Amino acid sequence: MKTYGRLMCALALMAAAAITFTACATTANAQTKQTGAKKKVVVVWSEGTAPKKVYPNDINGAIADALKADLKGWEVVTASINDPEQGLPDALLNRCDVIMWWGHKKHDLVKDELVAKIVKRVKEGGMGFIGLHSTHFAKVNKALMGDACSWGDYKGDSTTVDITVKDATHPIAKGVKDFQIVQNERYKEPYAVPTPEAVPFEGVYTLRGGAKDPVMRMGLCWHAGKGKCFYFQAGHETNPTFFDNNVKKIMANAVQWADPASN
């Protein structure tokens, strides 16, 4: 009987250990799946019209390479209007946390159905939207702003722009100092958009001949429903704007600021 009792006790201990091990394994697997599910996604979208001699892998490729180096733990995806479903199938759009958009010549080719889906994800789902340079005229940007989104004028008469950190406390300006970049296309105020909630950056253009243009708003922030929107004025396709280290920092900061988790 004593032998039988010891045997039953040993079996009970083994069973308990097995249950504990199974529970731990189940918890670990659940945590692993949960961690994987929480991986943030930024999609860098472009229409693919930038000159190859400036951007061999297009503008979205240049931005994506920088984001991959700066945004640890993020999945960085490049997308193009030339991809199936114009680069944003539902499976990707529905798990996207932030979209960064560069458009110029093909605004009208973006399907209205896709625009409506993106706007819904921003306003109702909290997805962030970052518009770059000529994206001011993109259908998505105009729908989110609810305004004309036109600049007062467009001139190809500038040489450089000095970008000034207007609000050093803003998250998008973190670690950024005043800097200068080559910029041969000048947008002039006024910019027909709702009053921004913040203007982290301003700029002054230097024209051919040395004259200066008045201060321009270079970086503007809004909320659109539950989502955050940031517009960065610089980024003309014939200038290597997105290879500049200061601009790379702004792009990475903007993604993290627009992340729904930061709301």
Q: What is the dihedral of CA 255, 43, 100, 56, to 10 degrees?
A: 110
CATH number reported for the structural domain that contains residue 143 in this entry: 3.40.50.880
Cα-based distances in Å from 173 to 71, 78, 198, 208:
16, 24, 11, 29
Indicate the SS3 state at residue 246.
helix
Look at residue 34 in the predicted model and tell me its pLDDT: 44
CA atoms within 13 A on the CB side of 226: 14
Q: Is residue 209 part of a domain?
A: no
Q: Among candidates 78, 79, 89, which has minimal Cα distance to 114?
A: 89
Q: Is residue 178 part of a domain?
A: no
Look at residue 107 in the predicted model and tell me its pLDDT: 98
Is residue 74 within 8 Å of 104, Cβ to Cβ? no
Dihedral pair phi/psi, residue 6, rounded to 5°: -65, -35
Look at residue 116 in the predicted model and tell me its pLDDT: 98
Task: State the residue range of the domain holding 114.
Answer: 39-150+217-262
Look at residue 263 in the predicted model and tell me its pLDDT: 78
Is residue 176 within 8 Å of 246, Cβ to Cβ? yes
Q: Is residue 173 part of a domain?
A: no
Q: Among candidates 167, 172, 152, which has minimal Cα distance to 214?
A: 152
Give pTM, 2 decimals.
0.86
Q: Is residue 176 part of a domain?
A: no
Beta carbons within 8 Å of 224's beta carbon, 6+ residues apart: 119, 122, 123, 129, 144, 145
Q: Is residue 10 part of a domain?
A: no
Q: Is residue 25 part of a domain?
A: no
Q: For residues 58 and 125, give the distance between their C-alpha atoms in angstroms, rounded to a whole number.
A: 29
Q: For residues 59 and 66, give the distance between their C-alpha atoms in angstroms, rounded to a whole number.
A: 11
Q: What is the DSSP string of 100-131?
A: EEE-SS-GGGS-HHHHHHHHHHHHTT--EEEE
How is residue 198 written in tokens? 């913040």
Specify the number of domains making up the chain.
Answer: 1
Look at residue 214 in the predicted model and tell me its pLDDT: 87
Q: For residues 205 and 145, give the distance between their C-alpha atoms in angstroms, rounded to a whole number.
A: 26
Per DSSP, 229 falls in state: E
Per-residue pLDDT tens listing for the chain (263 residues): 444 445 444 444 444 444 443 444 444 344 434 444 578 999 999 999 999 999 999 999 999 999 999 999 999 999 999 999 999 999 999 999 999 999 999 999 999 999 999 999 999 999 999 999 999 999 999 999 999 999 999 999 999 999 999 999 999 999 999 999 999 999 999 999 999 999 999 999 999 999 999 899 999 999 999 999 999 999 999 999 999 999 999 999 999 999 999 87
Look at residue 12 in the predicted model and tell me its pLDDT: 47
Environment class of residue 38 by beta-carbon count within 10 Å: exposed (0-12), middle (13-18) or buried (19+)? exposed
Cα-based distances in Å from 169 to 61, 100, 175, 252, 258:
30, 23, 10, 16, 16
Q: Is residue 207 part of a domain?
A: no
Q: Among candidates 234, 247, 192, which has minimal Cα distance to 102?
A: 234
Look at residue 6 in the predicted model and tell me its pLDDT: 53
Q: Which residues make beta-bridge pairs with 158?
A: 207
Q: Is residue 124 part of a domain?
A: yes
Q: For residues 176 and 66, give the distance between their C-alpha atoms in angstroms, rounded to a whole number.
A: 15
